[in-house]
Structure 1
């Protein structure tokens, strides 16, 4: 049985979530009305997973998450409103140790839960298999055990001291010599931070990212990464020419594809394909790039995430002569997607997270 603690101030949401998980038959459910009550229950319940609402009275989700990670580290899935503030808070939560996010349904909540229920169950099951990193906020935990005060984590990670200044208009954009295609899901935003922040501003290729995420969150993710990285990071929407030294984040709840326009290659968001379960689809992104570029001008990177999205297409990429990199099991929050690539023999290299950027740069012509 998976012990699940649901933390939400809404009686309706608690009831609906109870119905969703009770139908599965393998969840042992507990409930808390706010963060303070959750912290009281956790030592007794010892949950395998916590679902945590962001906006709550008395103690909100971010404050509660901080203390969970310091006192009782366990996998946490955030349940967040589909708003700009909700997106920013969700990214802050992922920085603080949450492993995934699910959007809170709007409008007729009961109808929205019918659509979100299967995805929520899948995310919680994946979270139950997450191995919490022993180094996660270790210094703060040590201070807390020693009787000192734990510093609350910042709402967002500050930009690096050497972060790039505001971008000036470019006189001439340089077409990318090739593409780095990155796919990730659960645990992806911190992994993207670790990889993209190590890429130089003069990167001769561009990168396109398919990160499984709701549409309201990917724009905030792109803006945050743009402030942390030397490469420029933007969300892919309408057809945009692909230029060197730029990273394009696929818009959530859609797919991101490479297309050929009269002026050259472009990247764009397109309606999600029913053939693929998760969106933006990594498989669809890689296949679209293979349709327009030779395999030796493509590098595929598959990082943390549940399921198998990306493994089949990246296997085809390697078979055609391209390079593929899978994140190593020891650093992946969930070794589903990269693990499948490795098991099927589709990975040219298997690298821990902190070595992926160097491997990308080393494989550029």
Structure 2
């Protein structure tokens, strides 16, 4: 039976979360703050920790950092998921939290409670990423760019973005455990990577703007949130807006990425299957590469298997690096993966497929 340590300074919220998880068959113990949580962590040895972000004394981020150092355990951040708290919650995901979910309401069972239960169950089976505290992360990023060129790439539209569309397009689908994996993938792409990238990360709308800004600050490429229709350009990464979907379409002879309302029948949004299906309608399969990363469920597996069958190429993240192996496993089981790779090798494979000369590859940092 899965044991969960629920950490929240609100007695009402502790009781609410405990009731939901107990009703789902979990064993639940509670802690009233970060210091209490660290004491109970060793004594109770929980399979999963749910952790509030805003607490007096030791806040959720400080507690999470200690957990990852002292006794690494899958952590689910329980947050109000407001725009104001998005940066803090994303920092928690970068520090090693498996996922963030919305705080349950005081009403009866509903979609929020169901999501909490499903996320905790997935977290119990999750593979923890190798995590680093903030100072270690900064050293890691700096170590990758020592001796490289820090000059900005010149702006402008290249011939690759002419009316018949880009020569290549990378479509990335990712869910639980995604922010850290995306950071590793995008930071590893060379500054002269010639293809656009479109990312569908399952995430609420309040988070994707912050995610795009954070990734833009560490990646050699330009990273933007897909808020409006935009022509696909080399070296630009478009992060689909959370809570909606995104499609690749042709408009006036140009190939455009555009946000679209989420379909009611879809379980996860931004929906990966819908993104890949639309790309197959807009461009030849041979120009497309699908990358399916960590996440619960099977979103993207069917469409990426279709992509491979039609002559495109696909990559599934391997089990040894995936936080949750559900989505990539589903692609592999459909025999839809051209390659199965750990997260830290995917960028190099994409650069090879895009014919980036290994002798000229550079990881650069833009000057703002």
> Above 0.5 in TM-score?
yes
Displacement of 1:68 after TM fit?
Answer: 0.7
**Cα distance change, pair 163–182 in 1 and its aligned pair in 2 (3 A):** farther
CA distance in 1, matches of 2:205, 2:136: 21
Q: Does 1:249 align with 2:239?
A: yes
Displacement of 1:80 after TM fit?
Answer: 2.1
**Cα distance change, pair 164–52 in 1 and its aligned pair in 2 (3 A):** farther
Displacement of 1:337 after TM fit?
Answer: 0.5
Q: Does 1:128 align with 2:91?
A: no
CA distance in 2, matches of 1:251, 1:274: 16
Structure-1 residue corresponding to 2:358 = none
CA distance in 2, matches of 1:136, 1:220: 20
CA distance in 1, matches of 2:321, 2:281: 32
Secondary structure of the 1:291 match is helix
Structure-2 residue corresponding to 1:148 = none
Structure-2 residue corresponding to 1:2 = 2
How many aligned residue pairs are there?
346
Displacement of 1:58 after TM fit?
Answer: 1.6
**Cα distance change, pair 155–53 in 1 and its aligned pair in 2 (3 A):** farther
Task: Say what the alpha-carbon RMSD is for the aligned residues.
Answer: 2.2
Structure-2 residue corresponding to 1:19 = 19
Q: Which runs of 5+ in 1 are unaligned?
A: 138-151
**Cα distance change, pair 98–343 in 1 and its aligned pair in 2 (3 A):** same
**Cα distance change, pair 251–173 in 1 and its aligned pair in 2 (3 A):** farther
**CA offset digits 1:9-47 (Å, max 9, x no partner):** 2222222212321221x2001111211111111112111
Structure-2 residue corresponding to 1:275 = 265
**Cα distance change, pair 156–257 in 1 and its aligned pair in 2 (3 A):** farther
Displacement of 1:163 after TM fit?
Answer: 8.5
Q: Which runs of 5+ in 2 are unaligned?
A: 356-368
**Cα distance change, pair 126–232 in 1 and its aligned pair in 2 (3 A):** same
Structure-2 residue corresponding to 1:144 = none
CA distance in 2, matches of 1:63, 1:36: 10
Structure-1 residue corresponding to 2:300 = 310
**CA offset digits 1:216-257 (Å, max 9, x no partner):** 111111001111111100001111111111000011111111
* TM-score, length-scaled by structure 1: 0.88
Secondary structure of the 2:256 match is strand
Structure-2 residue corresponding to 1:348 = 338
**Cα distance change, pair 363–155 in 1 and its aligned pair in 2 (3 A):** closer
CA distance in 2, matches of 1:285, 1:164: 33
Higher relative contact order (CA 8 A, sep 6+): 2
Alignment of 1:5-154 (within 5 A): 5-24=5-24, 26-104=25-103, 109-111=105-107, 114-133=110-129, 135-137=130-132, 153-154=134-135
Q: Does 1:234 align with 2:215?
A: no
Q: Does 1:327 align with 2:317?
A: yes
- Contact 1:95 1:156 (8 Å CA) reproduced: no
Secondary structure of the 2:85 match is helix
